[in-house]
Amino acid sequence: MQQRAINAVLTGVTGTALAGMLVAGVAAASDDSAPSEKQFLTQEAVAAQQHKPGGAEKGTAGSAEKGAAKGSGGADKRGAAESGSSDSKREEKDPEALLSGKTTASYFWDDGSGINGDTGAPASGKSMQKGMFASPSWPMLTKVKVSYNGRSVTGFVGDRGPGEPSHRGIMLDLDTYTFRYLLDGEKPESKYTAGTGEGHLKGLKWEVLEWGDGKGEKGKPQPFNP
């Protein structure tokens, strides 16, 4: 009887001890290995940020694309500005002709010497010079480009002429230097003589680039009228 009582007591004590040990083990496991609620929340937040659509990668790519687009736009604007500048320069160098045609041209050098039928100082009041042309009708100081044999010279109307030849279709007198240059690219023998057997350039192309403000008539050249 006593032995059964002792056994019951021992069984109770042992059960109590085992129960205590189990509780302690669970508590230790909870403290050492199980993540806390706070830790779970932190990990979930990081994962959500990493898998968020259009996250850091989108932001980086977007910035790069915007930068590239901005740079490209700047280059396009500079290109357009440079292109516009280049176009303006071409227009200044080669203005569009107001009027053009072909004629036969002779040459002259009027400086009051009386040589070769010199009639005196040029009618425009400007001294005789290279690039001065004589027209029977165009306004004085009209800007004219003349071309022949692949060569061109731009000059101005500074005198009247040719006289009577203009009634035979010779509508321009060129200074001696321009005449010889257009003929063969050379210089004249003297300012009064071209130095070749040619006294006329047939099929000379003329282009009026700007009308002068002196006396004369705009439009196609008309025969000299004293």
| Neighbouring residues of 164: CB distance < 8 A, sequence distance ≥ 6 | 224
- Kindly list the domain boundaries of the chain, sorted by start residue: 53-94, 99-210
Identify the pLDDT of residue 60.
44
Number of other residues whose CB lies within 10 A of the CB of residue 204 = 21
Number of other residues whose CB lies within 10 A of the CB of residue 108 = 22
- Cα 165 to Cα 129, 142, 223, distances in angstroms: 22, 21, 8
CATH 2.40.40.10 at 99-210, yes or no: yes
The tens digit of pLDDT for each residue in 174-200 reads 999 999 999 999 999 999 999 988 899
Give this prediction's pTM.
0.59
The tens digit of pLDDT for each residue in 53-70 reads 444 444 444 444 444 444
Greatest distance between any 2 Cα atoms in the chain: 172
What is residue 107's three-state secondary structure? Answer: strand
